[in-house]
Each structure stands twice: as C-alpha cells, then as structure tokens.
C-alpha cells in the first residue's frame, strides 16, 4: 500500500518512535509483550496533539473487553486476529479518509480562529474605540469562547442629544466584522448629520439586507436621549426586554418591550411605528441585556424572567450595575452552555448628553454685532417642498445641511446651522401646520404631553405643507446663507412674540425666537406670520 513500515517489539518503543518519526498509521496488537498497548495508545494520541495519527488495534477474536478498551484508549479502529488482508486494507482506507477529514477540519478551525482574531480587532480597534467615553454608561461583555461580538455604539447628535445602539449580530468571524463595520459607519455618520432615529434604523436595515444574506439577523435596541426636552425615544428590535428603573423608588417603572421586527431580514422596515417616547429624568437608569441565563437544574436556556429576578434583587444595592452583574455571574456559573452575555447600564443624568457650544464663538458674535449682509445677484439656490402625510415621516434637515456642505466649508458652524434649521422647521411644523400651542411646554411634564399630542396630530394629518428655500452667496472670505420657511398654517402675532422673546425667562418655552435672534444676522417675518426669513453668515 506504499507505506514506509517501521516495526518495534513493545509499546514503550512505539511511544519513542511516535515521538521522533512522522507517523500516519499505527497497527498495534492488543497483547504487547510489555502489556502496555492501551496505555501507549493514550500517550501517543495525547502527544500527537493536532497531528492526526491513526491507530488500529489487533484484538483477540470475539473479545468484547479488548474492543471496549480500544475505544476508551482512543484507537480509531480495530480488527480481529487472524486478520484478512482485504479487511485490513479496508480499515486502512477508512482511517485515511478520517485523516483527510481531520486535516480539513484542522485547516477550517485555523481559518475560523484567524477570522475571529480579525473580527475581534475590528470590534475593538475600528468600532469600540470610536465610542465617546461616557462615565454614565457602564458595560460588561462576558464570553466563554472566541469573543463576544455584541455591539454597543454611542454618538452625539447636532441637537445636543445622544444616540445609543446596543445589539447582537447572529454571525461569526469575517461576516460579523463586515456587519459590525457597516452598522458602525452608518450609525455614526447619520447621527452626526442629525438624521432622525427611524431614518437611521431604516437605512441601516436596508444596508444590511443588501450586504448580507437574509439568514443574517441583527437584534438591537436604539435609544435617543434629549435632555433639552427631557425625552427618551427608543425602539427594541428583537432584543430581550429592557428596563427603566427609578433610583428614588428602587423599582422598575417602564419596560422597553421587543417588537417582532428584526434588522437585516427585509427591506421597507417602516421602523417609525416601533419607536416609543418616554419622559426622561436624572433618577432613571436603563438596563439592557443580551443573552439568556440557565438555571442549575435546567438543560435549556430560559426566558427573560431570570434577568428581571436578578434586577429586582439588585435595585436597592449601592451600585445597581455591580449588584446586577454579581447576580448574573452566579447564574452563569450554572450555565456553561451560554457562550456570551452582555450587560449595559445607562444613568440618565444631564451629563450623559453633550453641552451646547452654540453662540460661543467669536465669529458668530462678530457677525451678529455687525449685522453683516452681502448683496449679490447670482446666488446658489435650493428649494424643497414637503406636503401632506409626508410631513409625518420626512426630516429635511440632514438634506439641507448636506446641501450647504457641498457648496461651502461649514464644518465649524455645523452645530449652529443644525440648530437654526431645527428651530425653523419645528416652528413651521408644530405651530404652523399642526397648530400646537407653546404654552403646553411650560413645564417638564408639559413637554412630554406636547410630544404625545404632536404624535397624535401627525397620525391624523391629511393636508398641509412646508416650503423651504435656501440662497447661498459668497464674497471673499465671508459666506452668507438666506433661509426661508413658509408653512400652510394661519400664521400668528409675530410682533408680540418677538417683543416677548427679548425678555423670555421660561426655561421650557419661548426660547426658539430668542435663540434665532442670537445666532442669525437677521430674523424677519412676513404677514400673516407663516413665513420667516433669516440670514446666517460665517467665515470661510
């Protein structure tokens, strides 16, 4: 059979030869002169490590104890004496096939290990390092093998808010790295440009559908924190139930329940319907987990009730995060079949979101004082009109920002420009088209009621329009943007509101016009008050 054959007379010498020669197959009598056939088999297999050495044991006819010992010792096959040469050849061919399969499996495992190392590097170096260091967010990622490929992403928004995405990609290695990179880049880019929560999720879902197999799923929780209006906007796409707790009462006060929608499965997700608003205050904490816990007496993973039991037991402890982590660790010690588990706590204190730097630069103050206005005959113009039901789900602000970015360097004024567009569009939609009263925002509780009423009116909206016109002009190193918003509403007594805005002191309402006055070079309304024009200038 073209093998190079080495013969030895006892098991001890077999062990020595196996350690010095490159062996592929050993045929060993069960009854060796030194009586160590099975012991030698065990030692040779152990020393071979990843090198597959096939061992066939020659046994006494119909001797079941010898056959059992062969299997226990780790032999690959056995053949009874006196053996038939044809049968021996068949056994040799069989272990050769096993060797080939073993080599293929070893190569595959090495490739998987390399892919895992690459994915781990992508997660740690290219993704997690981009997250802002936020002390109010604590996380713990446990893994029993390979690495934990759960994602936690954070990104500031231009409106002084914070977006958080926590989820699990049900894929491994290179596929996990590709999916995670796509998710991270989409999330960070769209968050920085001010896209709404549902627009980010819908775009991310479509990208994952285009990039990966439909067998791939991404379970995720998306959170948007806005302390300016004390509002938490969130949606759960197939993740375990998340909890909002109160430091004051040491209880669970809200639950972020999972929807049936999963990312990466189908396009046209229409995620806006999955989002819910909650009021936000500094005594709240959000607890999110990924993975399930198994009880000591159970062989299968159990439902989310175990997490809630751990959380309830930790609510009154000095550190909710550490207490919950310890309770989970006790469960995990009885659940070695759980490959990984992740825990995230977010303390909803004001420092969770970034502080605004709007209106603090020398350039903005300079232009406001000088009231700089350029008069040119050949501006670059951009017009957009949003009508009827589209007002409920289209956010034009990122598009407006992108237009300005394409014609001028506006990076340093990005946050200010975003605020101007947001104030103008919010006033046109809320007070013009939807006819919402500002008085409703006179308190923190009123803000939450205000947004609930806004949601209700948007769902019932059948007619209305907002027209937006931009004109950009440049002279030497000065850029000037003229912005016009016109809505279909009846208008308002803008003269009275502008007079009041000079002395506005209520921290929850009446700030919009005062803010626009401070940021823009010019602010003016046209009768009957449903059309506004502002001029904003900056240095190149």
pLDDT tens for each residue of 9-20 = 998 999 999 888
227 φ/ψ sector (left φ>0, alpha ψ -120 to 50, else beta): alpha
Beta bridge partners of 55: 26
- Cα–Cα nearest to 494, from 464, 530, 535: 530
Beta bridge partners of 218: 169, 263
Q: Name the pLDDT band for 534 (thresholds 50, 70, 90).
A: very high
In the predicted structure, residue 361 carries a pLDDT above the cut 60: no
209 vs 296, residue with greater confidence:
209
In tens, the pLDDT along 465-517 reads 999 999 998 877 788 899 999 999 998 887 776 666 555 444 444 567 777 87
Identify the structural domains of the chain with CATH numbers, from first to last.
11-109 (3.40.50.2300), 131-352 (3.60.40.10), 362-539 (3.30.565.10)
The dihedrals phi and psi of 481, each to the nearest 5 degrees, come to: -120, 120
Can you tell me whether residue 423 is helix, strand or coil? Answer: helix
How much is the mean pLDDT over the chain? 82
Extract the tokens encoding 366.
Answer: 């300079």
In the predicted structure, residue 382 carries a pLDDT above the cut 90: yes
The dihedrals phi and psi of 287, each to the nearest 5 degrees, come to: -115, 120
Give the integer Cα–Cα distance in Å for 24 and 12: 18
- Cα–Cα nearest to 370, from 537, 514, 498, 540: 537
Residue 442, pLDDT score: 62
Q: Residue 457: how many CA atoms within 13 Å on its side-chain side?
A: 18
In the predicted structure, residue 176 carries a pLDDT above the cut 50: yes
The dihedrals phi and psi of 244, each to the nearest 5 degrees, come to: -110, 120
Q: Name the pLDDT band for 303 (thresholds 50, 70, 90).
A: low
In tens, the pLDDT along 13-44 reads 999 998 888 888 999 888 888 888 889 999 99
Q: At what angle do helices 397-407 and 414-426 cross, to 10 degrees?
A: 140
Rounded mean pLDDT, 46-52 = 84
The dihedrals phi and psi of 219, each to the nearest 5 degrees, come to: -90, 135
What are the residues whose beta carbons fall under 8 Å from the beta carbon of 319, sequence distance 6 or more? none
In the predicted structure, residue 441 carries a pLDDT above the cut 50: yes
- CA distance between the termini of the chain: 82
Q: How many CB atoms lie within 10 A of CB 172?
A: 15
Lowest-pLDDT choice from 63-67, 98-102, 186-190, 307-311: 63-67
Q: 490, 528 in Cβ contact below 8 A?
A: yes
Residue 35, pLDDT score: 82
Give the integer Cα–Cα distance in Å for 290 and 245: 18
Give the integer Cα–Cα distance in Å for 530 and 291: 52
Residue 301, pLDDT score: 45
414 vs 246, residue with greater confidence:
246
In tens, the pLDDT along 221-240 reads 999 998 877 889 999 999 99
In tens, the pLDDT along 484-495 reads 999 999 988 877
321 vs 439, residue with greater confidence:
321
What are the residues whose beta carbons fall under 8 Å from the beta carbon of 48, sequence distance 6 or more? 18
Rounded mean pLDDT, 312-327 = 91
Q: 384, 468 in Cβ contact below 8 A?
A: yes
Q: 217, 163 in Cβ contact below 8 A?
A: no
């Amino acid at each position: 059979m073209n093998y190079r054959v080495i013969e030895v007379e006892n098991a001890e010498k077999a062990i020595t030869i196996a350690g010095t020669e490159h062996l592929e197959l050993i045929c060993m009598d069960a009854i060796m002169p030194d009586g160590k056939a099975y012991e030698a088999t065990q030692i040779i297999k152990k020393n071979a490590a990843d090198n597959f050495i096939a061992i066939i044991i020659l046994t006494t006819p119909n001797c079941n104890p010898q056959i059992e010992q062969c299997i226990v010792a780790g032999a690959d096959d056995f053949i009874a004496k006196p053996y038939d040469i044809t049968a021996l050849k068949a056994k040799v061919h069989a272990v050769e096939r096993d060797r080939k399969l073993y080599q293929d499996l070893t190569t595959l495992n090495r490739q998987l290990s390399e892919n895992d190392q690459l994915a781990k590097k992508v997660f740690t170096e290219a993704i997690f390092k981009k997250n802002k260091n936020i002390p109010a967010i604590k996380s713990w990622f446990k893994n029993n093998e390979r690495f934990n490929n759960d994602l936690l992403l954070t990104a500031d928004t231009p409106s002084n808010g914070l977006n958080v995405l926590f989820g699990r990609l049900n894929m491994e290695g290179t596929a996990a790295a590709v999916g995670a990179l796509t998710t991270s880049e989409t999330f960070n880019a769209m968050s920085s440009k001010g896209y709404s929560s549902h627009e980010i999720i819908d775009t991310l879902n479509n990208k994952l559908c285009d990039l990966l197999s439909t067998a791939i799923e991404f379970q995720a929780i998306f959170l948007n924190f806005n302390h300016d209006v004390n509002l938490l906007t969130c949606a759960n796409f197939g993740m375990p139930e998340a909890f909002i707790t109160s430091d004051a009462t040491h209880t669970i006060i809200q639950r972020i329940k999972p929807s049936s929608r999963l990312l990466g499965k189908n396009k046209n997700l229409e995620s806006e319907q999955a989002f819910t608003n909650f009021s936000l205050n500094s005594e709240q904490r959000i607890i999110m987990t990924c993975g399930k816990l198994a009880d000591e007496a159970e062989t299968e993973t159990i439902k989310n009730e175990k997490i809630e039991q751990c959380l309830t037991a930790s609510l009154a402890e000095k550190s909710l995060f550490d207490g919950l982590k310890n309770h989970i660790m006790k469960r995990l010690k009885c659940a070695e079949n759980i490959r990984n588990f992740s825990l995230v706590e977010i303390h909803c204190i004001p420092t969770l979101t970034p502080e605004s730097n709007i209106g603090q630069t020398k350039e903005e103050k300079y232009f406001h004082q000088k009231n700089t206005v350029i008069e040119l005959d050949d501006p670059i113009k951009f017009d957009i009109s949003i009508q009827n039901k589209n007002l409920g789900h289209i956010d034009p602000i990122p598009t407006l920002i992108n237009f300005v970015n394409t014609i001028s360097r506006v990076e340093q004024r990005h946050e200010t420009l975003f605020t101007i567009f947001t104030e103008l569009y919010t006033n046109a939609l809320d007070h013009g088209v939807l006819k919402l009263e500002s008085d409703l925002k006179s308190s923190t509780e009123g803000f939450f009621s205000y947004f609930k009423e806004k949601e209700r009116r948007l769902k019932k909206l059948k007619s209305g329009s907002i027209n937006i016109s931009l004109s950009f002009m440049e002279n030497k190193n000065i850029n000037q943007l003229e912005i016009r918003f016109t809505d279909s509403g009846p208008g308002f007594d803008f003269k009275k509101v502008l007079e009041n805005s000079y002395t506005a002191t209520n921290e929850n309402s009446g700030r919009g016009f005062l803010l626009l006055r401070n940021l823009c070079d010019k602010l003016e309304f046209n009768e009957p008050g449903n059309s506004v024009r502002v001029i904003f200038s900056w240095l190149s």
